[in-house]
């Protein structure tokens, strides 16, 4: 039996895209925040990703300085760091230092990679739409990289577990692939 749920719980029904860590700024001055509201919106020519970013985020302030960002993909082993980057602002704390994460230069954009993450999408913002307290950032992916042991065209869940936000302090992991009949 299905029961009605309050509308303010409806987003949790479709939430589980993988959680990402978005870096903005430069190697000299960078910050990162956790994002679960992300989705691809075009897969090629150009490859576009949509991010939903709150106006108040310090990371967004840095992103606006060069209109570039990096989407970093953490695995299960970065659970605590991921939650920290999503619950504390870089305005108050040097989060990267507190989380013990390492910045590494990106290939084509100014914001750095988070070295401990297994995948990186280097992006330039091509359009922005404002919706109430958040902006929708349409990001063109200009360079992409993934740990080869973990990625064969998609993440290999037997070797690498992306994090999926459930609610509050709870995250889930994907542990196996299922093949539908062709
Ligand atoms: C799992 C998780 C997912 C989040 N997803 C988003 C999101 O999609 N968009 C957003 O604006 N904030 C999101 N947040 C909140 C920001 O990460 C949080 O406000 C962060 O402290 C901002 O850091 P900053 O001020 O250093 O940029 C999320 C937080 C968590 C814990």
For residue range 70-86, list pLDDT tens digits in order. 999 999 999 999 999 99
What is the CA(35)–ligand 1 centre distance, in A? 5
Give the integer Cα–Cα distance in Å for 151 and 154.
Answer: 5
List, in sequence order, every beta strand (DSSP E) within the chain: 20-25, 30-35, 38-42, 48-54, 68-73, 103-104, 113-114, 119-131, 134-146, 163-167, 170-173
The preferred substitution site among 23, 35, 50, 131 for testing ligand 1, maximizing ligand atoms within 8 Å of CB, is 35
CATH of domain 21-173: 2.30.110.10
- Given a contact cutoff of 8 angstroms between Cβ atoms, the answer to whether 125 and 111 are in contact is no
pTM of the model: 0.96
Give the integer Cα–Cα distance in Å for 58 and 10.
Answer: 28
What is the CA(131)–ligand 1 centre distance, in A? 16
Per-residue pLDDT tens over the stretch 155-178? 999 999 999 999 999 999 999 999
Label residue 13 by pLDDT band (50, 70, 90): confident
């Amino acid at each position: 039996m299905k029961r009605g749920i309050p509308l303010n719980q409806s987003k949790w029904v479709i939430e589980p895209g993988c959680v990402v860590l978005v870096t903005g700024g430069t190697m000299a001055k960078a910050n990162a925040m956790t994002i679960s509201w992300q989705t691809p919106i075009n897969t090629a020519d150009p490859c576009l990703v949509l991010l939903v970013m709150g106006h108040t985020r310090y990371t967004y302030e840095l992103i606006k300085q060069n209109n570039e960002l990096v989407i970093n993909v953490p695995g299960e082993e970065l659970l605590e760091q991921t939650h920290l980057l999503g619950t504390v602002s870089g305005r108050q704390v040097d989060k990267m230092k507190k989380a013990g994460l390492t910045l590494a230069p990106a290939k084509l954009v100014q914001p750095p990679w988070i070295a401990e993450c297994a995948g990186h999408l280097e992006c330039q913002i091509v359009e922005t739409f404002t919706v109430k307290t958040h902006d929708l950032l349409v990001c063109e992916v200009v360079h992409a990289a993934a740990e080869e042991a973990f990625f064969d065209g998609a993440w290999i869940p037997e070797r690498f577990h992306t994090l999926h936000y459930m609610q509050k302090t709870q995250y889930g992991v994907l542990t196996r692939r299922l093949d539908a009949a062709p």
